[in-house]
Amino acid sequence: MSVRDRALGAFTGLALGDAMGMPTQSMSRAQITARYGPVRSLLDAVAEQPISPGLPAGSITDDTEQAVLVAKLLTDGAGRIDPAVFAKALLDWEAGMVRRGLADLLGPSTKRALELLGSGVPPEEAGRTGTTNGAAMRITPIAIATPPDLGPLLDAVVEASALTHNTSLGLAGAAAVAGAVSAGIDGADLPAALDHAERAAAEGARRGLWSAGGDIAARIRWARRWVRGMDVPALADAVAEVIGTSVAAQESVVAAFALAEALGDRPVEALALAASVGGDTDTVAAMCGAVLGARHGTSGFPADLITVVREVNALDLEPVVDGLLQLRQRRRTR
């Protein structure tokens, strides 16, 4: 399997997980069961969906759209993302969502950071309250563009995330996803990639302003050990009831890694379970999909599901990934 296929698999897995979680996002497990029954594939969103009512099966959400936005800024900036340009791009993206009549807008940490920036707070201070999963959900392009060596990788994570999530929790969550995805693209097996995620999360936490909450590296380590060998019903209970699936980074990021650990050889089942457990389902599934896609490549996901997601969203990921891999090669040869 080539580096390109694993990189494309990471972005594809992100989009597919996002689309599988779209119909169930911000719903409880009980509501999901009542409205959809078992989630096993892509589904149309019901009219009662609180964020994406009535969207057709395969539709992506902010997770993929913002990841594509980050990828464009990164390639346009020759590997750098200017904070002012990033802020404007995020605001323009949200304005476009409003024009389309969608409620899938900027998350709480990103929204607050941009408000602070607009009031004159410097970029390095704007993300001081960002403890949610917004940086982690859109970090995959950084992981594709950067080899897994922790120093340069974390520099890139901080540069792309600190504007909105400059906290120990926000940066640790983003670093964990970036570490696993970048290591997987380089050919690490899944246990090694998840180990690298733990190291990245521990180091990433030291890069941001301290924020109260369970340490993400420690929680990933604990969750991985706890869920090994669980059957699917027990795993669903563990993720929904103990680990948690809220927008808090120390819940949803850890949930994604628990699912990757337990169902790493069954990527679609992992994404379906992520879409079934309630809460921030699209983001949990997107992060899990990116991690498993970097390990399995595009062949880890059914071609028919990938086709639906690409056609429904007019999503052309190959040129996006090729541009990011050019940056990866450039950084590797420095």
pLDDT confidence bin for 258, thresholds 50/70/90: very high
Residue whose C-alpha is closest to residue 179's, from 287, 267, 77: 287
Domain that holds residue 37: 3-332
CB atoms within 10 A of CB 118: 11
164 vs 6: which has the higher pLDDT: 6
Q: Are 1 and 10 in contact (CB under 8 A)?
A: no
For the chain, what is the domain count?
Answer: 1
Rounded distance between C-alpha atoms, residue 283 and residue 205, angstroms: 20
What CATH number is attached to the domain comprising 267? 1.10.4080.10
198-219 as b/e, with b when 16 or more CB fall inside 10 Å?
bbbbbbbbebbbebebebbbbb
Residue whose C-alpha is closest to residue 217's, from 160, 268, 175: 175
Q: Are 169 and 216 in contact (CB under 8 A)?
A: yes
In this prediction, residues 240-247 reach a mean pLDDT of 97
Per-residue pLDDT tens over the stretch 31-41: 999 999 999 99
